[in-house]
Structure 1
């Protein structure tokens, strides 16, 4: 079982230190979430900086809100990050749920799934080296991997499960293990029905805070603020893993479900969590 780390968003200047420490440890991926109307750092810019101070660990968006971005530019940005990281970039992509993010770019939140489908088709076409359109030629640079960076699609709706089979390399599941079982099986069925060879890569994401009371309190405040739009954040806070035993149990549960990787998403700024979580993983 591979284990990655999700980077906290409340202190962007600390993330290069987080990245160096994680790169020296047992972790396989560094993930970063995406929002527009929030105080998080922009993920593609930040992960480019992270890739520059690391040599081994992968960098991944979890998830990039694709419909907020213009497709040709996103294709170029993603291919550039893939090249400059030596092929270590994974594009986790989805549609998001916050209307204010869409209002900020003058886009309608309705129909965002259909826009993502069109966008994914464009990304694949650009990354294959084909002309962008009848009037516009190819857009480079070419990504490291033929066909483009790995794409993981994060979602919950049945139509999104089918999107994984049409355009993705795998599924990014930000749900508890009990719910994830059904979602992952739905993805596998859609994959088989679409005639795809092999199996989709399955990546789970769970929220963690490991350390003294100050660390857990900082994480609780951060995750409560981020998910405040839900109104009641009790379940989100309760699902955050705060002990080595719970973290090991959940990693094991996802392993039993067939997950290839679990990303432990950190909300507290305490960078010593990298070493504590490394001990749990080891």
Structure 2
């Protein structure tokens, strides 16, 4: 079972320290979320910096809100990051749920699903070496013809359809293991029904924080702020955060039992010592 870390969004300066410690530990991947109207660092820029100081660990957007971005530029950014990381980049993509992000870039939030489907068709075409509209090709070529690994984030039927049509797998969040397992099953069934070879990569995400009470309090505040648009639901997300080594071990094992290939433990406090604490906690 692979275990990755989601990087805390609150302190960009600390993230290179996180990356160095994670690279030296047991972790498989470093993920970073995407927002416009929030204090997080821009993920493609930040992951490029992280790729530059690491050599083993993968880097992943978790998830990039693709409809907020111009398709041609996104194609170039993703291929570039794939190349400079020597193929260690995973493009996790989704549509997001916050209207303010869409207003900020002048994109209609109600068209986001259709826009993502159009973008994925164009991205795969461009990464295969095809031209952008009638203008010409966009380089550089990614490490793998057809583009970097793509995981779709979400837990609705449209997510399953996108995984099967455009993706390499699923990034599932906010579901307990039993429900996640059912969703994994629907993805795998649809994958095989569509005649896709092999099997989809299945990744589960859970929020985690380890440390003294001030670290846990800071993580809870950060989660509450980030998920504030959910109203009372933000408190529930904070309450479900994994805060003991035993809880982390149980969650990793439970997600593995329902088919996860990797579990991303998303951290919400910038305390870098969490890297070592979580490393000691994972199986």
TM-score, scaled relative to structure 1: 0.98
Shift of 1:111: 2.1
Aligned twin of 1:207: 207
Specify the alignment match of 1:145 in structure 2.
144
- Unpaired segments ≥5 residues, structure 1: none
Q: Is the aligned partner of 1:241 residue 2:242?
A: yes
Q: Deviations over 1:22-54 (max 9, x none)?
A: 000000000000011111100000000111111
Q: Distance in 2 between matches of 1:248 and 1:122?
A: 40
State the alpha-carbon separation in 2 of the partners of residues 136 and 155 from structure 1: 33
Please give the secondary structure, in 2, of the residue aligned with 1:110.
Answer: helix
1:190-240 deviation per Cα after TM superposition (whole angstroms, max 9, x unaligned)? 211211111100011100011110110110010010001111122101110
- Identify the residue that residue 10 of structure 1 maps to in structure 2: 10
- The root-mean-square deviation of aligned C-alpha atoms, in Å, is 0.8
Map of 2:135 onto structure 1: 136
1:94 corresponds to 2:94: yes
Aligned-residue offset at 1:176: 2.1
Q: What are the equivalent positions in structure 2 for 1:17-36 lying under 5 Å apart? A: 17-36=17-36
Task: State the partner residue of 1:158.
Answer: 157
1:58 and 2:50 matched? no
What pairs up with 1:170-185 in 2 under 5 angstroms? 170-174=169-173, 175-185=175-185
Contact 2:181 2:259 in 1 (8 A): no
Shift in Å at residue 178 of structure 1? 2.6
**What corresponds to 2:186 in structure 1?**
186
Residue 41 of structure 2 aligns with which residue?
41
1:252: which partner in 2?
A: 253
Q: Aligned residue for 1:105? A: 105
Cα distance in 2 for residues equivalent to 1:219 and 1:101: 23
DSSP-derived class of the 2:242 partner: coil
Distance across 2 between alignment mates of 1:51 and 1:153: 21
**2:258 corresponds to 1:278:** no
1:75 alignment partner, SS class? helix
CA distance in 1, matches of 2:199, 2:256: 15
The unaligned stretches of length 5 or more in structure 2 are none
Distance 1:137 1:173 in 2: 36
Tell me the CA shift for residue 156 of structure 1. Answer: 1.4
Structure 1 stretches of 4+ with a deviation exceeding 6 A read: none
Contact 2:210 2:244 in 1 (8 A): yes
